[in-house]
């Protein structure tokens, strides 16, 4: 290492010195490698401590809740925790075993225990998710079983309600006897299990989620395109106008951005409804007759119009910030070399706006996919998105596992898109400002 | 020895008194005009009489925060104003305190609470305070004097009564109306709905006006839709329509045919921070006078029979409230009572079917 021919070693030798062993040392005699490691460790620790609050914040407000949501989408121990004996019987006996007297005894014992501890509702609710109409079977059986059930158990339980003999019910109970289940994900993609536990398509009338997922992504794509078509010229104008004028224009972009979402949505209702401002003007101008008023809201059109307006600033602002930094002399150089203005735009200007476009498109698309309040108010029947179904399961049916499964699929869809975007454009090319 | 005893007991009672003064109760309700009526009719006199402070909190549907708080094991609300189906469901799941009807105050003539409440108003874990109706209202300026709609069937007759209709975007408050309009008797609704053919029949009837429906989600919307002229007829909550008609002088009329009756109930979650104060509040609020007094502020019917006679004038001092009550004898003739057991069993399934039906064009 200590080679006179190595100029680097020579410099180090004069600055810090080498010991007999040939180890590099600092001025105070510490081995250089260790001193370096220590100082860089200190710097790393300081950096870590500085980001620690943010890290904790992200952990507490994002990672933990999302983790809990993911867990809830597969875990529902409403049945297994409150029907221990029957669950045990299911684990001991493989699928296809006819329920014997031991199984009926376990069912009877669990029913009366669950009724006494007032958990029978949880059990019934869990089974009802997979087999609608059975919740009351459990609660009414629980009411009757509170005092205990006399053997022979099979006859006693069947006497309460003949529905207990339904093989479908036993198949569903077997499914529910494990705390972890994929059924909520199956339901989210319009699948269900038949009596034998095979995965089959849900009945035609019950198939809605796949369609709604596709609609959500399709509408979000349309909204991303319309914000781009409307936002690009505005961002260009903002970036090229003299500062005084562009500041004024900028306020026009920011003012709606700062206005409450609900106010903007209801404003669109006032404008677009059949007795609204736009229709009134069209009738007044004689473009349409009074009976031919256009239906522009409470449908898909309304959702697209209102959401385009609401998400427009998220497209304009990143585009603008990137366009500001583009040197106009490139375009001028292209023109002076004989390019037409279209060629100059297409080959010189537009490619330089791509980082801003990527950021804007990703922002608008991801926001649109999760949008809830605007489609709920102006979407009518055909403009609803998957977020409205998640809200329904959260607040109306109180089936949070189902809401979690739908939300997890939505999250997965967005992550896949993000990955595709990274592959196609490169996430490094993303520029927000 | 004796003095110590006296001193300690005196201190103890002082402590108790101080404790009582610091008591409070957190009530979670629905907000809006309804919450205002509860503040006026229950909270103010309760605070005056007992010295217990009432904190009113609003939620879109109080059953949602109730379930969330129970699941998280961190309960902050004491009394929740929830719908019957949620009360029964949460009670079966062991989330609510059981309420012995014997502790509820009797009517003025001594009738015990168990006989004084309208059937269904006393549940194992909850006590009803109001009955409210989902009713059809129409804009009377849109129809000639001699050709006004008057039945649920007229709601579906767009040939005779042209114009858009406003309906809530959920199966619970639409399917029954379709069946009534299709000729099913009010007391047969759930029998029909529990068969697949009955559900098909309801959806087939809804199909006939699907193209003419504006769907609403929040209770304020049907009133707005009618006022804007966006629809000529809508179903909505009778209290909201009453407010628009009497409070704001809108030219609306209510069709008291096929009204859907729901109850709102008070329930106390297990593990609430102030259970005694909560029970005090529940007893006070569901006494006959308080329930009757609430009708002064909103057109929802009291859940006790003895309250009906006490119902007086609206807060404007001239409108007689009794004929506007969904619980009046006249209106109850064709009313459909909500069946919470049916909805606890079928709400998820029918909601999915309904949304699937909606998304088809």
Backbone phi, then psi, for A371, in 5-degree steps?
A: -70, 140
| Residues 204-223 (B) with a CB less than 8 A from some CB of A | 210, 213-215, 217
Residues B88/B341, Cβ–Cβ less than 8 Å: yes
The Cα of A136 is separated from the nearest Cα of chain B by a number of Å equal to: 6
User: Count of CB contacts below 8 A, A vs B?
Assistant: 105
Is residue B2 over pLDDT 60? no
Which DSSP string do the residues of B229-244 spell out, in sequence order? TS-SEEEEEHHHHHII
Mutate to test the interface with A, among B61, B72, B92 (most CBs of A within 10 A): B92
Is residue A357 over pLDDT 80? yes
* pLDDT, chain A, mean: 87
Residues A120/A138, Cβ–Cβ less than 8 Å: yes
Closest residue to B359, CB basis, from A134, A382, A396: A382
- Top pLDDT among A29 and B144 is at B144
Residues A314/A367, Cβ–Cβ less than 8 Å: yes
Quickly state the pLDDT bin for A193 (edges 50, 70, 90): confident
Is residue B284 over pLDDT 90? yes
Residues A352/A334, Cβ–Cβ less than 8 Å: no
Is residue B21 over pLDDT 60? no
CA distances from A235 to A244, A253, A325 (A): 15, 10, 12
Test A397 with B63 for CB contact under 8 angstroms: no
Residue B61 contacts A, CB cutoff 8 Å: yes
Which DSSP string do the residues of A202-263 spell out, in sequence order? PPGGG--HHHHHHHHHHHHHHHHHHHHHHHHHHHHHHHHS-HHHHHHHHHHHHHHHHS-HHH
| Residues 72-111 (B) with a CB less than 8 A from some CB of A | 86, 89-94
| Residues 133-172 (A) with a CB less than 8 A from some CB of B | 133-136, 139, 142
Closest residue to A132, CB basis, from B213, B228, B348: B348
The Cα of B251 is separated from the nearest Cα of chain A by a number of Å equal to: 17
Residues B148/B142, Cβ–Cβ less than 8 Å: no
Quickly state the pLDDT bin for B23 (edges 50, 70, 90): confident
- At A432 the pLDDT is 64
The Cα of A23 is separated from the nearest Cα of chain B by a number of Å equal to: 60
Quickly state the pLDDT bin for B346 (edges 50, 70, 90): confident
Closest residue to A208, CB basis, from B60, B341, B355: B355
All residues of chain A having their beta carbon less than 8 Å from the beta carbon of residue B142 are none
Is residue B263 over pLDDT 80? yes
| Residues 183-212 (A) with a CB less than 8 A from some CB of B | 205-208, 211-212
Of A104-108, A292-296, A329-333, B158-162, the least confident: A292-296
Closest among B135, B136, B131, B199 to B351, alpha carbons compared: B199
Test A381 with B67 for CB contact under 8 angstroms: no
Quickly state the pLDDT bin for B16 (edges 50, 70, 90): very low
The Cα of A225 is separated from the nearest Cα of chain B by a number of Å equal to: 23
Is residue A2 over pLDDT 60? no
Element holding A193 (H helix, E strand): strand A191-193
CA distances from A252 to A73, A160, A223, A291, A374 (A): 43, 69, 21, 36, 22
Top mean pLDDT of A163-167, A426-430, B281-285 is at: B281-285
pLDDT tens-digit map of B70-106 = 888 899 999 999 999 889 888 888 899 999 999 999 9
Mean pLDDT of the B219-242 span: 91
The Cα of B91 is separated from the nearest Cα of chain A by a number of Å equal to: 8
All residues of chain A having their beta carbon less than 8 Å from the beta carbon of residue B351 are 392, 396-397
Residues B178/B205, Cβ–Cβ less than 8 Å: yes
Closest residue to B349, CB basis, from A132, A139, A394: A132
pLDDT tens-digit map of A243-281 = 899 999 999 999 988 999 999 999 999 999 888 999 999
Test A298 with B215 for CB contact under 8 angstroms: yes
- At A6 the pLDDT is 55
Mean pLDDT of the A54-59 span: 94
Residues A1/A7, Cβ–Cβ less than 8 Å: no
All residues of chain A having their beta carbon less than 8 Å from the beta carbon of residue B359 are 208, 211-212, 215, 381-382, 384
CA angle at A428 for the pair A423 and A429, rounded to the nearest 5°:
90
Closest residue to A399, CB basis, from B346, B348, B356: B348
Test A273 with B230 for CB contact under 8 angstroms: yes
What whole-number distance in Å separates Cα of residue A174 and Cα of residue A197?
Answer: 9
Q: Return the axis-axis angle of helices A300-324 and A209-240, rounded to nearest 10°.
A: 40
Is residue B329 over pLDDT 60? yes
| Token pair of A365 as six digits | 């698309």
Mean pLDDT of the B189-203 span: 94
pLDDT tens-digit map of B30-71 = 887 888 899 999 999 999 999 999 999 998 889 989 988 988
Mean pLDDT of the A351-376 span: 91
The Cα of A413 is separated from the nearest Cα of chain B by a number of Å equal to: 21
- At A396 the pLDDT is 79
All residues of chain B having their beta carbon less than 8 Å from the beta carbon of residue A275 are 228-230
The Cβ-side half-sphere exposure at B45, using a 13 Å CA radius, reads: 15
Mean pLDDT of the B187-204 span: 94
* pLDDT, chain B, mean: 88
- At A208 the pLDDT is 87
Judging by DSSP bridges, how do beta strands B126-139 and B252-267 pair with one another?
A: antiparallel
Closest residue to B345, CB basis, from A133, A276, A399: A133
Mutate to test the interface with A, among B30, B229, B356 (most CBs of A within 10 A): B356
What whole-number distance in Å separates Cα of residue A140 and Cα of residue A161?
Answer: 9
């Amino acid at each position: 290492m200590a080679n006179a021919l190595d100029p680097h070693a020579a410099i180090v030798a004069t600055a810090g010195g080498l010991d007999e062993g040939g180890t590099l040392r600092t001025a105070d005699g510490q081995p250089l490698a260790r001193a370096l490691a220590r100082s860089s460790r200190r710097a790393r620790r300081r950096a870590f401590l500085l980001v620690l609050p943010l890290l904790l914040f992200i952990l507490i407000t994002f990672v933990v809740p999302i983790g809990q949501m993911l867990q809830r989408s597969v875990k529902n121990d409403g049945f297994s925790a409150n029907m221990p004996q029957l669950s045990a019987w299911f684990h001991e006996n493989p699928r296809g075993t006819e329920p014997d007297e031991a199984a009926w005894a376990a069912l009877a014992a669990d029913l009366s225990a669950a009724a006494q501890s007032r958990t029978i509702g949880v059990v019934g609710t869990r089974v009802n998710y997979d087999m609608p109409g059975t919740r009351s079977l459990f609660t009414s059986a629980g009411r009757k079983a509170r005092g205990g059930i006399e053997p022979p158990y099979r006859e006693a339980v069947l006497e309460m309600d003949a529905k207990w003999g339904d093989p479908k019910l036993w198949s569903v109970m077997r499914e529910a006897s494990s705390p972890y289940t994929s059924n909520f994900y199956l339901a989210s993609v319009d699948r269900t299990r038949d009596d034998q536990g095979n995965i089959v398509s849900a009945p035609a009338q019950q198939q809605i989620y796949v369609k709604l997922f596709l609609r959500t992504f399709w509408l979000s794509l349309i909204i991303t395109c319309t914000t781009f078509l409307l936002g690009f010229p505005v961002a260009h104008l903002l970036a090229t106008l003299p500062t005084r004028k562009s500041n004024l224009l900028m306020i026009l972009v920011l003012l709606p951005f700062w206005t409450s979402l609900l106010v903007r949505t209801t404003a669109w209702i006032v404008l677009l409804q059949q007795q609204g401002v736009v229709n009134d003007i069209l009738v007044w101008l004689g473009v349409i007759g009074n009976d031919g008023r256009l239906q522009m809201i409470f449908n898909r059109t309304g959702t697209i119009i209102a959401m385009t307006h609401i998400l427009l600033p998220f497209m304009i602002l990143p585009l603008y910030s990137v366009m500001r930094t583009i040197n106009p002399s490139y375009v001028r150089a292209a023109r002076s070399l004989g390019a037409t203005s279209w060629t100059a735009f297409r080959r010189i200007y537009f490619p330089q706006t791509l980082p801003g476009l990527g950021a804007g498109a990703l922002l608008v698309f991801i926001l649109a996919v999760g949008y809830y309040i605007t489609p709920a108010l102006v979407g009518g029947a055909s403009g609803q998105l998957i977020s409205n179904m998640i809200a329904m399961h959260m607040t109306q049916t109180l089936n949070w596992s189902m809401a979690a499964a739908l939300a997890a699929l939505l999250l997965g869809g967005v992550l896949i898109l993000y990955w595709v975007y990274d592959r196609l454009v490169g996430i490094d090319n993303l520029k927000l400002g | 020895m004796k003095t110590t005893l006296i001193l300690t007991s005196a201190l103890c009672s002082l402590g108790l008194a101080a404790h009582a003064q610091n008591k409070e109760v957190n009530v979670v309700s629905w907000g809006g005009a309804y919450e205002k009526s509860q503040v006026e009719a229950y909270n103010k006199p309760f605070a005056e009489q007992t010295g217990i402070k009432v904190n009113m909190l609003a939620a879109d549907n109080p059953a949602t925060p109730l379930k969330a708080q129970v699941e998280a094991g961190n309960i902050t609300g004491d009394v929740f104003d929830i719908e019957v189906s949620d009360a029964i469901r949460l009670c079966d799941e062991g989330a609510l305190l059981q309420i012995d009807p014997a502790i509820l105050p009797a009517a003025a003539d001594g009738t015990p609470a168990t006989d004084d409440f309208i059937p269904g108003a006393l549940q194992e874990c909850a006590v009803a305070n109001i009955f409210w109706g989902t009713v059809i209202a129409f804009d009377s300026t849109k129809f000639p004097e001699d050709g006004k709609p008057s039945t649920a069937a007229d709601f579906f007759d767009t040939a005779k009564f042209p114009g858009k209709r406003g309906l809530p975007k959920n199966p619970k408050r639409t399917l029954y109306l379709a069946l009534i309009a299709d000729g099913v008797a009010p007391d047969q609704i759930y029998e029909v709905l529990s068969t697949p053919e009955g559900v098909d029949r309801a959806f087939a009837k809804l199909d006939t006006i699907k193209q003419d429906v504006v769907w609403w989600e929040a209770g304020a919307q049907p009133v707005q839709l009618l006022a804007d002229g966006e629809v000529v007829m809508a179903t909505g909550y009778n209290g909201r329509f009453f407010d628009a008609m009497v409070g704001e002088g809108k030219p609306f009329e209510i069709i008291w045919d096929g009204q859907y009756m729901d109850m709102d109930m008070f329930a106390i979650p297990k593990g609430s921070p102030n259970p005694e104060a909560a029970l005090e509040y529940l007893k006070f609020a569901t006494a006959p006078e308080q329930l009757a007094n609430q009708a002064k502020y909103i057109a929802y019917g009291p859940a006790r029979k003895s309250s009906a006679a006490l119902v007086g004038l609206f807060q404007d001092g001239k409108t007689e409230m009794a004929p506007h009550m969904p619980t009046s004898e006249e209106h109850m003739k064709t009313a459909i009572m909500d069946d919470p057991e049916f909805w606890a069993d079928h709400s998820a399934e029918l909601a999915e079917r309904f949304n699937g039906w909606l998304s088809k064009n």
